[in-house]
Chains A and B, each alone.
Chain A
Amino acid sequence: MLTVLQFLKPYKLPVAIALILMLIELFVELFHPFLLAKIIDDGIMQEDVSVIIRWGSLMVVLSLFAFVAGVVNSFYAAHVSQSSGFDIRSGLYRKVQLFSFSQLQKFEASSLITRLTNDVTQVQNTIFMSLRIMLRAPLLIVGGALMALFINVKLALILIVAIPIIMLFLIWMMKKGGALFSRVQAKLDRVNHVMRENLTAMRLVKVYVRYKHENKRFKKSNKALMDQTVSALRLMEVAMPALLFLMNVGIMAILWFGSFEVNSGGAQVGEVVAIVNYATRITSALSVFSMIIIVFSRFKASAERISDVLQEGDEPKSEAEISPVVKGSLEFKGVTFTYPNKKTEVLKDVSFKVAEGEVLAILGATGSGKSTLFQLIPKLYEPSDGEIVVDNFNIEGMNSNQLRQQIGYVPQEVFLFSGTIKENIQWGNGEASMNEIIEAAKAAQIHDLIDELPDRYETRIGQKGVNLSGGQKQRLSIARALVRKPAFLLLDDCTSALDVKTEQRFLEALKHYSCTTLIITQKISSAKKADNIILLDEGEIVGKGHHDQLKEKSELYQLILRSQQREEAFQDV
């Protein structure tokens, strides 16, 4: 919670102003019963109309003054809450962007999203409410008690006794509520998760006609959410009636003792009236408390969930002292890798070399560690052992940004952003000119298709490029990598949805890009054209060399070759 409150620091001054303005309002409100007592005791009892008029007009003037203060307070409160909300959201977002992959895995995507959206909004609203009205309630209680003391010490003592009891009760509720509402939030996350999963899998649900099954699944989590919410809220709702009763008993006590005080001359009627008035004001302030408890315990839960993210360590950044101009040679030296929190070694003592401008094909069964190997090159993960060397520099000491600038990565699973085709390609290189974009699109064999679209490069594609076919998406994602003019091109089996002619043309076009290329592939036909091939099996290199060498030496390669031989005549259509 403190982490989140830190975000208020830059706004100390506006916060202070907002609070002062609120205090002014509060003061006016608390001053009114005092003036009322004056009017009764000095005006009515003493039969002096001028006193009544004097104090009466003062009340009017003060009211207007408080109004102005209140309006200005709104401006400051909104400013503080919106600005700090903005800062939290930005800070959080930036943090998530800086997460390493292993950190990202700690949080589910859906939970990260809720943290960035709902939780931030929750915090922001709480800040606004606090500056505007919520702090008012506790201050009103304290202020009211003080004013009562000022008017008549003996009678006010009854109020003073009640306050600590109320406070203790409230603190207990707050604690209890915090725990309950964080459980509610967890259930809400679950509901959202099921919904998101269902949305992504909608085609499957439809084909299997499984909506009833899905409904059942959803019902379960929805019901759990309902039950948890009901039990949390019901506990909270006990607070107000209990507190009201306590305060009302206080009022009765004031009346009882007040009557004796008035009789003995220890107090005046106006004073009793004023103190009763303070007591009722305090009572009505309490009615806000059950809301405050709910809001605050939600705030606490949200703030903690935000802090969880913010308190994650930064991705280890070792800034290179030299920022080498990458030419494009790459070497793995005895690289071993295990995913964080997992036991099995995905890569075992992998060593190989690629010279500048060469093409290396990587073959291997699924799960043999090919994609993992790729992810180590842009430093998405750090090897557990061994080193990766680019142009004679260990990448461990390289600035990851500068390194990644030089890499064009095409992952196996295509991900495009919503926006136009041009934006998506340009995403690879913000400075790319239209010509460069077209050039990349041509090389990726997608230009002709784009040209046929009504809006050409300005054609919008959905969040996941819904109106494009898988192959088209793959080619866009290749164009995105090419437009960077990278020193390294990493193609993670990204030509799978391409037909064979397109693929051949693409590989041909690649030759014009002077980059070191690593291709993960299943097709011998593609691998054949590479300068070198490595064969991975369960994280180990079991074969190295070019096509003809491997054909001779490697049994596994022969096996793969045989399995594809019969298709050699046609390959893919």
Chain B
Amino acid sequence: MFNQLTRPFRYKKIPLPTVTTSEQRTNGKVKSKPKDWKSTIKRIWSYLSVHKIYFFLVVLMIVLSSMLSLLGPFLVGMAIDEFIVHHNVSGLLQLLIFLLFIYIFYSLSIWLQNFWMVGIAQKTVYAIRMQLFKQLQKLPISYLDKRQHGELMSRLTNDMENVSTTLNSSVIQIFSSILMFIGIIAVMIYLSPLLTLITVAVVPLMVIGMKWITRRTSLFFKEQQKHLGEVNGYIEETIAGQKIIKAFSKEEHVVSTFMGKSESLKGAGFWAQTYSGFIPKLMNVLNNLSFALIAGIGAILAFNNMITIGVIVIFAEYSRQFTRPLNDLANQFNTLLSAVAGAERVFEVMDEEEERDAHDAHDLPEVRGDVTFEDVSFSYEKNQTTISNVSFTITEGETVALIGPTGAGKTTIINLLTKFYEPVSGVISIDGQNIKNIKNESLRRHLGFVLQDTHLFQGTIRENIRYGRLEASDDEVEEAAKQANAHTFISSLPNGYDTVLDQDGSGISQGQKQLLSISRVMLANPSLLILDEATSSIDTITEIKIQEALQRLMKGRTSFVIAHRLNTVKQADQILVLKNGQLFEKGNHEALIKKKGYYYEMCQRS
């Protein structure tokens, strides 16, 4: 019991940065932060400002509602002073009718401002999401390879949600708060400058208190967001790897790791919430204090006939309405904090350098299929060469087999040819043109891929094949499937081409997935072909079908094959033997056998 009572006060403190003096602030992250915020907010505004007309209408309604809400208490005070203290029924009736209209318009204006704002906010969020998604398509593969999908997803989902919620409510709140604040002060000064002074006396207290709190909350929120990202990343990863976790009965292990991460999140979250909770409390106390002051001092003033009771009533009401905007602002500040932080992370992704073409890059209308590598070197990470000084020439229509031990650099050659990565040095050219100067898109349009992991999208088989050429007709899709030997198995499915594939195509077998993937390339009809032979996971019968289909596919096209089968290798016009990132031997089967080198040895040994 005692433990339960004291627990809230025993959370581990998060140390505040000691940087406080203004001099120190200039040289550190502390200073750069608000600057970023400003530009982030500006950027959000640039989205909002697209809907200027509606935005203007919203602001107009806010002005209207603020004015009307000021008028309300004023009239009520008047009613008490003029018509209740001095009983006057007809005057009261007139005033009440007037009041009724004010209330009607008040409600109407509030409804309208929200109605329009929801539209603007959601359109904005839609636009940001859309742009973010488009940006994702433009990011280089290396960016995606380096990042945890979970962390990236958290930006796309959580952070976007944060922005969305804030835009829905905060914008209106902030605007109306400011307007109300100004309006109330003006009316108060008109009624009684002295009482106004007393009411406003609490503002410096508020500013000091707010500064103290927000300095802490912004730090704690950042901390919280960091831990949240970690927890989410872990969730994502372990759910994807669920099968392995089960088979190894590591449930307890991952649960306990998760608990650890979750615990840190709890710690950070506690402080963020506690401190952010102080803000309304501070507002409340100031609210109550100013109410007490107005009641006490106002009464003494009324006592001396300097003001009327009605004025006290109006002030009592205004004093709350006056701190309420500030209160709302403070409340909104929290959501705003996390939303701006979220938006910042979203914009970070948008600002990532896109996969870019060289500025004088041109299109490649047609490709014959000559490929040259000249002294190409590459490494994924610094101080580590993946391939070095690789040179070879392939002529149109040739089949090239890439062989060598795992990790020798076969995949890397493909990654470079597709411009997923750029070589550190050396030149790769197609039809005599340096691919550096060819637009990525244009280059890739001529490439066809049969990758090891065949990725299928949620959707029908037909849609998945058509991914190769979107404008293809149903007949063309079926023709491609026939060519790829996939037609038979597709037709045997109850729904044929309209069979819906589950997530990751789990409804069909690995070999069938390959056949679909080949159909897709068949339909795309590329000039250059890249095959990653992953055929050994497929049974021999299907395998023969795949081989047949591939033969058909490769005919007349320059093809790069990461080969595992002697047949493929033997038939290749050129064999590139890679070892430790170097092009160890090249030539056709006969030549290499004659050479009695590494390749010969490989053949002998197996």
A51-88 contacts to B (CB < 8 Å): 52-53, 55-57, 59-60, 62-64, 66-67, 70-71, 73-79, 81-83, 85-86
- The distance in angstroms between the C-alpha atoms of A201 and B457, with both chains bound, is 8
B551-571 contacts to A (CB < 8 Å): 563-567, 569-570
Contacting pair A380 B243 (CB below 8 A): yes
Interface 1/0s, chain A 329-368, versus B by CB < 8 A?
A: 0000000000000000000000000000000000111111
Complex partner residue of B563 from A427, A453, A573, CB under 8 angstroms: A573
- The distance in angstroms between the C-alpha atoms of A434 and B300, with both chains bound, is 83
Q: Which residues of B contact A83 (CB under 8 A)?
A: 7, 266
A15-71 contacts to B (CB < 8 Å): 17, 25, 28-29, 32-33, 35-36, 39-40, 43-44, 47, 49, 52-53, 55-57, 59-60, 62-64, 66-67, 70-71
Contacting pair B406 A112 (CB below 8 A): no
- Of all chain B residues, the one with the shortest Cβ separation from A116 is B235
Complex partner residue of B156 from A40, A195, A238, CB under 8 angstroms: A195
Interface 1/0s, chain B 72-85, versus A by CB < 8 A?
A: 11001001100111
Contact A201 to B455, CB < 8 A, known contacts A417-B237, A493-B537: yes
Contacting pair B299 A39 (CB below 8 A): yes
Q: Smallest CB–CB gap between B33 and chain A, Å?
A: 24
Q: Which residues of B contact A85 (CB under 8 A)?
A: 266, 269
In the assembled complex, B316 has its CB within 8 A of some CB on chain A:
yes
Q: Smallest CB–CB gap between A248 and chain B, Å?
A: 4
Please tell me which stretch of A319-327, A542-550, A556-564 contacts chain B, meaning at least 4 of its Cβ atoms lie within 8 angstroms of it: A556-564
Contacting pair B243 A411 (CB below 8 A): yes
Q: Smallest CB–CB gap between A505 and chain B, Å?
A: 11
A87-143 contacts to B (CB < 8 Å): 89-90, 93-94, 96-99, 101, 104, 108-109, 112-114, 116-118, 121, 124, 128, 132-133
Interface 1/0s, chain B 348-382, versus A by CB < 8 A?
A: 00000000000000000000000000000000110
Residue from A14, A248, A493, A498 with most neighbouring chain B CB atoms (10 Å): A248
In the assembled complex, B242 has its CB within 8 A of some CB on chain A:
yes
B146-181 contacts to A (CB < 8 Å): 146-150, 152-154, 156-158, 161, 164, 168-169
Please tell me which stretch of A1-9, A168-176, A465-473, A509-517 contacts chain B, meaning at least 4 of its Cβ atoms lie within 8 angstroms of it: A465-473
Contacting pair B262 A76 (CB below 8 A): no
Contact A76 to B284, CB < 8 A, known contacts A273-B313, A428-B248, A454-B383: no
Contacting pair A244 B110 (CB below 8 A): yes
B87-139 contacts to A (CB < 8 Å): 87, 89, 92-93, 96, 99-100, 103-104, 106-108, 110-111, 114-115, 118-119, 122-123, 125-126, 129-130, 133-134, 136-138
Contacting pair A206 B141 (CB below 8 A): yes
- Of all chain B residues, the one with the shortest Cβ separation from A500 is B606
In the assembled complex, B411 has its CB within 8 A of some CB on chain A:
yes
Contacting pair B270 A78 (CB below 8 A): yes
B5-25 contacts to A (CB < 8 Å): 5, 7-9, 11
Complex partner residue of A573 from B153, B238, B566, CB under 8 angstroms: B566
Contact A291 to B237, CB < 8 A, known contacts A56-B299, A233-B118: no
- The distance in angstroms between the C-alpha atoms of A363 and B254, with both chains bound, is 34
In the assembled complex, A528 has its CB within 8 A of some CB on chain B:
no
Q: Smallest CB–CB gap between B541 and chain A, Å?
A: 6
- Of all chain B residues, the one with the shortest Cβ separation from A94 is B255
Contact A567 to B565, CB < 8 A, known contacts A82-B269, A215-B130: yes
Contacting pair B406 A211 (CB below 8 A): no
Q: Which residues of A contact B157 (CB under 8 A)?
A: 114, 117-118, 188, 192, 195
Contacting pair B251 A97 (CB below 8 A): yes
- The distance in angstroms between the C-alpha atoms of A132 and B130, with both chains bound, is 36
- The distance in angstroms between the C-alpha atoms of A493 and B537, with both chains bound, is 6
Contacting pair A207 B447 (CB below 8 A): yes
- The distance in angstroms between the C-alpha atoms of A284 and B5, with both chains bound, is 33
Contacting pair A277 B137 (CB below 8 A): no
Contacting pair A66 B277 (CB below 8 A): no
Contact A559 to B541, CB < 8 A, known contacts A284-B324, A493-B536: yes
Please tell me which stretch of A144-152, A217-225, A386-394, A435-443 contacts chain B, meaning at least 4 of its Cβ atoms lie within 8 angstroms of it: A217-225
Contacting pair B606 A213 (CB below 8 A): no
Interface residues on A, range: 35 or more
Contacting pair A498 B406 (CB below 8 A): yes
- The distance in angstroms between the C-alpha atoms of A81 and B510, with both chains bound, is 46
- The distance in angstroms between the C-alpha atoms of A113 and B249, with both chains bound, is 21
Interface of A is mostly: helix
- Of all chain A residues, the one with the shortest Cβ separation from B277 is A74
Interface 1/0s, chain B 300-341, versus A by CB < 8 A?
A: 101100000100110011001000100000000000000000
Contacting pair B534 A497 (CB below 8 A): yes
In the assembled complex, A373 has its CB within 8 A of some CB on chain B:
no
Contacting pair B7 A79 (CB below 8 A): yes
Contacting pair B564 A109 (CB below 8 A): no
- The distance in angstroms between the C-alpha atoms of A44 and B510, with both chains bound, is 89
Contacting pair B96 A502 (CB below 8 A): no
Contacting pair B103 A117 (CB below 8 A): no
Contacting pair A280 B103 (CB below 8 A): no
Complex partner residue of A74 from B228, B258, B281, B401, CB under 8 angstroms: B281
Q: Smallest CB–CB gap between B223 and chain A, Å?
A: 13
Contacting pair A466 B146 (CB below 8 A): yes
Contacting pair A255 B92 (CB below 8 A): yes
In the assembled complex, B278 has its CB within 8 A of some CB on chain A:
yes
In the assembled complex, B511 has its CB within 8 A of some CB on chain A:
yes
Q: Smallest CB–CB gap between B406 and chain A, Å?
A: 3
Contacting pair B536 A256 (CB below 8 A): no
- The distance in angstroms between the C-alpha atoms of A546 and B5, with both chains bound, is 71
- The distance in angstroms between the C-alpha atoms of A35 and B418, with both chains bound, is 79
- The distance in angstroms between the C-alpha atoms of A548 and B313, with both chains bound, is 104
Residue from B106, B114, B250, B401 with most neighbouring chain A CB atoms (10 Å): B114
Contacting pair B111 A276 (CB below 8 A): no
Please tell me which stretch of A159-167, A300-308, A401-409 contacts chain B, meaning at least 4 of its Cβ atoms lie within 8 angstroms of it: A401-409
Q: Which residues of A contact B270 (CB under 8 A)?
A: 78-79, 82
Contact A401 to B449, CB < 8 A, known contacts A59-B288, A109-B240, A497-B534: no
Contacting pair A13 B5 (CB below 8 A): yes
- The distance in angstroms between the C-alpha atoms of A255 and B244, with both chains bound, is 72
- The distance in angstroms between the C-alpha atoms of A195 and B457, with both chains bound, is 12
Contacting pair A248 B72 (CB below 8 A): yes
- Of all chain B residues, the one with the shortest Cβ separation from A61 is B292
Q: Smallest CB–CB gap between B264 and chain A, Å?
A: 10
In the assembled complex, A153 has its CB within 8 A of some CB on chain B:
no
Contacting pair A411 B111 (CB below 8 A): no
Q: Which residues of A contact B299 (CB under 8 A)?
A: 39-40, 43-44, 52, 56
- The distance in angstroms between the C-alpha atoms of A327 and B42, with both chains bound, is 69
Contacting pair B241 A365 (CB below 8 A): no
Contacting pair B273 A64 (CB below 8 A): no
Complex partner residue of A67 from B240, B284, B293, B448, CB under 8 angstroms: B284
Contacting pair A230 B118 (CB below 8 A): yes
In the assembled complex, B603 has its CB within 8 A of some CB on chain A:
yes
Contacting pair B239 A112 (CB below 8 A): yes
- The distance in angstroms between the C-alpha atoms of A44 and B303, with both chains bound, is 5
In the assembled complex, A432 has its CB within 8 A of some CB on chain B:
no
Contacting pair A97 B247 (CB below 8 A): no
Contacting pair B235 A522 (CB below 8 A): no
- The distance in angstroms between the C-alpha atoms of A234 and B136, with both chains bound, is 31
In the assembled complex, A400 has its CB within 8 A of some CB on chain B:
yes
Contacting pair B292 A59 (CB below 8 A): yes
Q: Which residues of B contact A206 (CB under 8 A)?
A: 141, 418, 420, 440, 444
- The distance in angstroms between the C-alpha atoms of A244 and B108, with both chains bound, is 10
Contacting pair A75 B156 (CB below 8 A): no
User: Can you add 8 more A-B contacts, CB < 8 Å, to A207-B444, A273-B309, A291-B169?
Assistant: A32-B292, A59-B295, A203-B455, A204-B467, A210-B470, A237-B118, A240-B114, A522-B543
CB<8 Å pairs between A and B, sample of 25: A47-B303, A67-B285, A73-B277, A75-B8, A77-B277, A78-B269, A94-B251, A112-B239, A113-B232, A113-B236, A113-B239, A118-B161, A192-B153, A192-B157, A199-B153, A204-B467, A207-B447, A208-B449, A222-B130, A280-B317, A366-B538, A409-B248, A563-B540, A563-B541, A571-B566
Q: Which 5 A-B pairs have the closest CB atoms?
A: A56-B296, A471-B406, A570-B566, A74-B277, A59-B292
